[in-house]
Amino acid sequence: MASEAVIDPPVLGRTFQHFVEFLRETDTPAPVLSPKRFSQAMHIDLQTLAEQAHVHRNTISRAPGSRGVQDYLREALRVIKAATDLNGDLNKALFWYRNEPLTLLDYKTDERLVSEGRTDDLLRYVASIEAGAAG
């Protein structure tokens, strides 16, 4: 077993702001998100994250602040924030992001759509749900 401890992400029962703070990279003074912590929170391995972000698998660990990695993480956060705002529950939003196939978007999950660069389509979909719920 690796000597590196896997930390259980402290996002359950917390707010979106707690989630963002958890994702903040602490090993560098640069204002970047930690791909390692994101992968832990989403329960995916780093290679899967690299595939989703369309970067080489070594980029995640060797250049976590790279534009490709950070752009993907920020787009994922946009969607997770919108989903959290919609239902008021971070845990439900994270589950939805990873698992809910969306009928109007070719039965793809949020996770897949963000990976395909369709964040804006997804946010329009969330806005339409919100507008429908509001009247």
DSSP label of 55: S
- As a whole number of angstroms, the distance between CA 71 and CA 54 comes to 11
Beta pairing partners, 88: none
3-state helix, strand, coil in the chain (%, to 5): 65, 5, 35
* Domain residue limits, the chain: 16-134
| Whole-number pLDDT of residue 14 | 82
pTM across the whole model? 0.87
Q: Is 102 helix (H, G, I), strand (E, B) or coil?
A: strand
| Whole-number pLDDT of residue 6 | 46
| Whole-number pLDDT of residue 3 | 39
Q: What is the pLDDT along the chain (135 residues), one digit of tens a residue?
A: 343 444 455 555 689 999 999 999 988 888 999 999 999 999 999 999 999 999 999 999 999 999 999 999 999 999 999 999 999 999 999 999 999 999 999 999 999 999 999 999 999 999 998 888 555
What is the 3 state secondary structure string of the chain?
A: CCCCCCCCCCCCCCCHHHHHHHHECCCCCCCCECHHHHHHHHCCCHHHHHHHHCCCHHHHHHCCCCHHHHHHHHHHHHHHHHHHHHHCCHHHHHHHHHHCCEHHHCCECHHHHHHCCCHHHHHHHHHHHHHHHHC
| Whole-number pLDDT of residue 30 | 86
